[in-house]
Amino acid sequence: MLRIRLRRTGATKKPRYRVVVAEARTRRDGPFVENLGFYDPLTEPATIHIDSAKAQGWLAQGAQPSNTVARLLRAAGVDVPKTSRESEPS
């Protein structure tokens, strides 16, 4: 199953993340299928840049976003259906 999730980049104590499509079983910073954008939580306000067309395409093909990525996609203006995973406590 494909997941849309965050891949950590950046230096120690200065995280930046790439929003990527990856196989669910691969490790966090392992191989990925496609890069959809990036997220920088250290800027004020946080920088979110996601290619909406690519994200919609992957969601239509059945890729499941992580809870954090679902929140970021909504902030970027992408329509994400609410899943049962989002109501579960982390």
Q: For 68-85, what is each residue's pLDDT tens digit? A: 999 999 999 998 887 656
Q: For 1-44, what is each residue's pLDDT tens digit? A: 999 999 999 999 999 999 999 999 999 888 999 999 999 999 99
Q: Which CATH number covers residue 10? A: 3.30.1320.10
Classify residue 18: in a domain, yes or no: yes
Classify residue 63: in a domain, yes or no: yes
From CA 26, how far away is CA 51, in angstroms rounded?
A: 23
Classify residue 41: in a domain, yes or no: yes
CA-wise closest residue to 68 among 28, 30, 32: 28
List the domain range (segments joined by +) for residue 12.
2-79
What is the total count of domains within the chain? 1
Classify residue 85: in a domain, yes or no: no
Classify residue 42: in a domain, yes or no: yes
The tokens for 21 are: 């499509």
CA-wise closest residue to 65 among 88, 90, 85: 85
